[in-house]
Amino acid sequence: MTDNSAADAMRAALTTQLLDMAGILQPIFDAADGMKAELISRGWSPTQAEQSAGAWLTATLAAIGGAA
pLDDT interval class at 21 (50, 70, 90): confident
Higher pLDDT, 33 or 65: 33
DSSP the chain: --HHHHHHHHHHHHHHHHHHHHHHHHHHHHHHHHHHHHHHHTT--HHHHHHHHHHHHHHHHHHHHHH-
pTM: 0.72
pLDDT at residue 46 in the model: 97
Q: What is the pLDDT of residues 33-60, one digit of tens each?
A: 999 999 999 999 999 999 999 999 999 9
pLDDT at 67 over 70: no
In this predicted structure, what is the pLDDT of residue 68? 54
